[in-house]
Amino acid sequence: MGRKINNLDNLDKDLNRLLLTKITVTSDEKNRILQGIHVKKRKSPIGYYSALVAAAVLVCLFTLSQLDFLQNEPGMSDDPTPVILPEEEEPAETPEEVEEPLERMDEEEDTLESPEVEKETLEVPEEKDEDIVVPDEKIPALVDNLMGVIIQTYYDMGSEYNWDNIAGNPPNFEILKPELRKYASESMVEGHLKDITQYFYTPSDANFIPSRDFDIRYTIKENTTNKIVISTIGLQSYLSPAETVYYTVIKEDERWVLDDWQRVGVEEELLNITFEEMKASRESWSKDLEFLEEITHNGEKIYVYKFKNDQYIEAVYASTSEIMFEPLEEWIPEEYR
């Protein structure tokens, strides 16, 4: 009995190998197949499999009715799958818009006004040209340039019109005035500049232009956004007296112009120079000084010096810059007497 069960199991496996898993075979049919092929199997394995195939074909003939499942399997039919199109929906009717007359709202009663909210804003002031203060170190150049172009204007206009007092062709100030107004205020043009006009066109040794030795000393007296006052000194020379000069510059139409100068002599204001200031003044004349001695005479401070290129010795009063071309012998160090 155990051998028969094993044969049935083998038969089931062989039928599965032949891809007949969809065919149902009863136990009696399997026994008849085994009896027919039992002898052939013992003789030859090839005969066994041939008989097995033949038996499988016979089983297929008896069970054709069971093949209906092939027609019911999904995807096996040759008929194309029908495509169902969605039904188009008819557009809904849009109701006609009826324009309703706008009711006029009473501006005083019906208008809603949003409350105003006060906001604190931090205003950043814009830096304008008129708010800019000229740096102190640039003021000497500003004043010196204004004085320079004013003097050059006299020379240029005199050359253009051949003004010469000696030749009988005096300057026409009405022609000169508009050019001077480019660099000086109205009061300055009608005052100091008008007064000195004749000196430009007459040979003269008169010192009609004030000193502007800013490289020796200058002091800023006032510096605002629209006004500058600066002072400088002029040391005594062979042609010029010692003085302190105050220049005033103002802003007109967003430009700086010369507004005034005041010349103050040492009788009113002492200079009290240092030897370095004296040396700087003489170097502008290409004179190199060598310091020898500082003495006090009658309460006055005096600097004794010599020119390096020769043995010539001079002395100068510090308070007034007055020069002594022949200093006292006792002021001179013994090795230079």
DSSP state string for 63-86: TGGGGGHHHHSTT---SPPPP-PP
Instruction: Please state the rounded mean pLDDT for residues 107-129.
Output: 43
CA proximity to 172, closest of 197, 135, 140, 141: 197
In angstroms, rounded to a whole number, what is the distance separating the alpha carbons of residues 333 and 328? 11
60-74, 127-141, 269-283: range with lowest mean pLDDT = 60-74
Predicted confidence band of residue 83 (pLDDT cuts 50, 70, 90)? very low
Q: 30's torsion region: left (phi>0), alpha (psi -120 to 50) or beta?
A: alpha
User: How many other CB atoms are found less than 10 A from the CB of residue 301?
Assistant: 16
Q: Residue 59: which residues within 8 A CB-CB, separation 6 or more?
A: 20, 23, 25, 29, 33
Instruction: Please state the rounded mean pLDDT for residues 1-23.
Output: 49
Domain ranges of the chain: 2-68, 133-265, 275-336
Backbone angles phi, psi at 300, to 5 degrees: -105, 135
State pLDDT tens for residues 15-66. 555 444 445 556 666 566 556 555 444 444 555 555 555 555 555 555 554 4
State pLDDT tens for residues 122-135. 343 444 555 789 99
89-93, 131-135, 173-177, 321-325: range with lowest mean pLDDT = 89-93
In angstroms, rounded to a whole number, what is the distance separating the alpha carbons of residues 71 and 283? 128
CA proximity to 219, closest of 198, 244, 197, 195: 244
Q: Is 171 in contact with 193 (CB distance < 8 Å)?
A: no
The arrangement of secondary structure in 133-265, i.e. its CATH architecture, is: Roll (3.10)
In angstroms, rounded to a whole number, what is the distance separating the alpha carbons of residues 110 and 118? 24
| Amino acid at residue number 194 | K
SS3 255: strand
End-to-end Cα separation, the chain, in angstroms: 162
| DSSP string covering 277-324 | HHHHHHHTTT--EEEEEEEEETTEEEEEEEETTS--EEEEETTT--EE
Backbone angles phi, psi at 199, to 5 degrees: -70, -25
Say what the pLDDT of residue 10 is. 55
Partners of 261 in the beta sheet? Answer: 247
Say what the pLDDT of residue 71 is. 46
Q: Is 286 in contact with 261 (CB distance < 8 Å)?
A: no
For residue 113, the Cα-to-chain-centroid distance in whole angstroms is 44
SS3 191: helix
Which range, 66-80, 99-113, 116-130, 156-170, has the best average confidence (pLDDT)? 156-170
Mean pLDDT of the chain: 77
